[in-house]
Amino acid sequence: MTKIQCTPDNKQKLMAIQDSMDVLSGKWKISIISSICYYNERRFSDILNDVAGISNKMLSKELKELEMNKIVNRTVMDTQPITVQYELTDHGKTLQTIINNLSEWGQSHRNEIFGK
């Protein structure tokens, strides 16, 4: 078995992965980002319907964190009643490749486990 040397470059890569996980970790964030990613713009209630099992309070908390990390933009619409709409920032859109790769891997994994 080949032993991999620990280099400063490897340590930076591991730190970058940890930074990514700090922003994206948890049960809901990837699902929320995916909902917005696949539909471009989503209202709060749309995301709530897309992400099975999430509560209003948890969705609100997660969206605030994603907004704080510049992944999503929140826009309050001038409607009656007030509508809040979410979309990915330019920075958030850089996650689209990861979301697509996760989807492809998930489908492949499902086929591997449950058969084709």
* Predicted pLDDT at 116: 67
H-type alpha helices, 1-116: 8-24, 29-39, 44-50, 56-68, 90-93, 96-114
Whole-prediction pTM value? 0.84
pLDDT averaged per 10 residues in sequence order, the chain, 116 residues = 71 88 92 95 96 96 97 94 94 95 93 86
Strand ranges across the sheet with 83-88: 41-43, 83-88, 72-77
d(CA 28, CA 109): 20
